[in-house]
Amino acid sequence: MTNMSESVEGVKEDGVHRKKSEKVKKKTGIGWMKSIRRNWELYVLLTPVILYFLVFHYFPLYGLQIAFKDFIANKGIWGSPWVGMKHFERFFDSYYFWRLILNTIGIGVFTLVVSFPVPIILALMLNEVKSLRYKKFVQTVIYAPHFLSTVVVVGMLLLFLKTDGLVNQVIKIFGGTPIDFITEPAFFKSLYVFSDVWQTMGWSSIIYIAALAAVDPSQHEAAMIDGASRFQRILHINIPAIMPTIVILFILNAGSVMAVGFEKVYLMQNDLNMSTSDVISTFVYRSGILEAQYSFSAAVGLFNSLINFFLLIMVNQIAKKVNETSLW
């Protein structure tokens, strides 16, 4: 008896639920079932994409737990024993910890300070060029290095800077003694940053050039009638017009100061300049892939991604307060 009444009540409750959910459905438009029936093809199209992200992007997130374990290959990710924060502690206590952190921040901040403003200045100046042909010519030239690979750029750098390379020949002409730029630790960061400027300034200016093209010409006309000089118009019309773009890109760039890429640093690295060139990503590669210390280097990598994540959120938050422009 009791069982029956319970089940009756259950049915009643189900009924109530159904009514409620139907109401909700009416509010939001189409329900899941209907949507799937109507657009099932779209979900079919999405399936390989979702599978790809699950396998190649979400599964590694699951695999990150080895940072807190001692990974043993034949026990697998799940079966390896937990060790808590052991690998993190080992990293924090190691003698190379501060060297890695300072090099990573150093390169990141140096890049931000030098590489970030150059494209803005370039775009502002290109915008003032009246001859379209000349403008086009300059753009064609300065975009070109964007299409060179990192290997090619570093290869060129080495060819130009070796002891009998182009730069040292010029130094010799002026009576100086050749400098071995490549192996000298003091030059590493400058070489890294200025070759980066060389390669990316043109390309990065495109987005600002586009934003400048959207400035209303009547603003300039009005300012000209009021007697404003070119420089004043740049300062008071053009720069405010591209400010939102600048802020967004600044957030993205500042949020990734600790995410110094592996590719170029690794190619420019040699045994002699390690004291200034070793960064977190190259360290993870060496200890993880070359020395197979999977758990330890996964912990170092995780530490770095956590910092990057919080940096981005922090910079975004600050920008929101100060400027009312933000990513989200």
Partner 1 sequence: MRESKTDRTFNIFNFVFLTIVALLVIYPLVFVLSASFSNPQYVVSGEMWLWPKDITLDAYEKVFKNKDIINGFVNTLKYTVFGTILNVIMTILAAYPLSRRDLKGRGLIMAFIVFTIFFSGGLIPTYLLIHDLGMLNTFWVMVIPNAVAVWNIIIMRTFFQAIPHELEESAKIDGCGNFRILWSIVLPLSFPVIAVMVLFYSVGHWNSYFQALIYLQDQDKFPLQLILRQILIQGQTDDMIKATSESFLAQQLSVEGLKYAVLIVANLPMLMLYPFLQRYFVKGVMIGSLKG
- DSSP label at residue 290: I
* 220-241 per-residue burial string, b: 16 or more CB within 10 A, e: under 16: eeebeeeebeeeebbeebbeeb
Which of positions 128-147 make contact with partner 1 (CB under 8 A)? 128-130, 134, 137-138, 140-147
159 part of the interface to partner 1, by CB under 8 A:
yes
Span interacting with partner 1, options 4-12, 36-44, 83-91, 184-192, rule CB under 8 A: 36-44
Report how far residue 210's alpha carbon sits from residue 203's, in angstroms, rounded to the nearest whole number.
12
257: helix, coil or strand? Answer: coil
Q: How far is the CB of 145 from partner 1 (least distance, A)?
A: 6
Span interacting with partner 1, options 7-15, 52-60, 91-99, 106-114, rule CB under 8 A: 52-60
* Non-local CB neighbours of 168 within 8 Å, separated by 6+ positions: 161, 162, 178, 179
Span interacting with partner 1, options 13-21, 54-62, 98-106, 108-116, rule CB under 8 A: 54-62
Q: How far is the CB of 109 from partner 1 (least distance, A)?
A: 21
Measure Cα distances from 225 to 220, 228, 231 in Å. Answer: 9, 7, 15
The interface mask with partner 1, positions 161-180, x = CB under 8 A, is: ---x-x--x--xx-------
Q: How far is the CB of 166 from partner 1 (least distance, A)?
A: 7
Residue type, 82: W
- DSSP label at residue 145: G
Which of positions 223-242 make contact with partner 1 (CB under 8 A)? 224, 229-231
- DSSP label at residue 178: P
Taking CB under 8 A as the criterion, the residue among 11, 16, 24, 46 binding partner 1 is 46
Q: How far is the CB of 241 from partner 1 (least distance, A)?
A: 14
Of 235, 245, 238, which Cα lies nearest the Cα of 217?
238
Which structure tokens are listed for 207? 């987005």
Task: CB nearer to partner 1: give 169 or 317.
Answer: 169
- Beta-bridge partner residues of 82: 69
Which of positions 203-222 make contact with partner 1 (CB under 8 A)? 206-207, 210-211
Which structure tokens are listed for 215? 């400035």
Q: How far is the CB of 13 from partner 1 (least distance, A)?
A: 26
Task: CB nearer to partner 1: give 16 or 50.
Answer: 50
Determine the size of the site formed for partner 1 (CB under 8 A).
92
Residue type, 51: L
Task: CB nearer to partner 1: give 7 or 232.
Answer: 232
Task: CB nearer to partner 1: give 101 or 209.
Answer: 209
Of 301, 277, 207, 214, which Cα lies nearest the Cα of 249?
207
187 part of the interface to partner 1, by CB under 8 A:
no
Taking CB under 8 A as the criterion, the residue among 97, 184, 198, 239 binding partner 1 is 198
Q: How far is the CB of 6 from partner 1 (least distance, A)?
A: 35
Read out DSSP for 21-54? HHHHHHHHSS-HHHHHHHSHHHHHHHHHHHHHHI
Instruction: Using the Cα atoms of residue 32, residue 34, residue 37 and residue 38 in order, give the sign of their dihedral.
Output: negative
32 part of the interface to partner 1, by CB under 8 A:
yes
Could you identify the residue written with the tokens 């990150």?
A: 64
Q: How far is the CB of 72 from partner 1 (least distance, A)?
A: 12
Could you identify the residue written with the tokens 């990513």?
A: 327
Which of positions 296-325 make contact with partner 1 (CB under 8 A)? 297-298, 301-302, 304-305, 309, 312
* Non-local CB neighbours of 328 within 8 Å, separated by 6+ positions: 316
Of 214, 210, 217, which Cα lies nearest the Cα of 233?
217
Task: CB nearer to partner 1: give 98 or 310.
Answer: 310
Task: CB nearer to partner 1: give 8 or 54.
Answer: 54
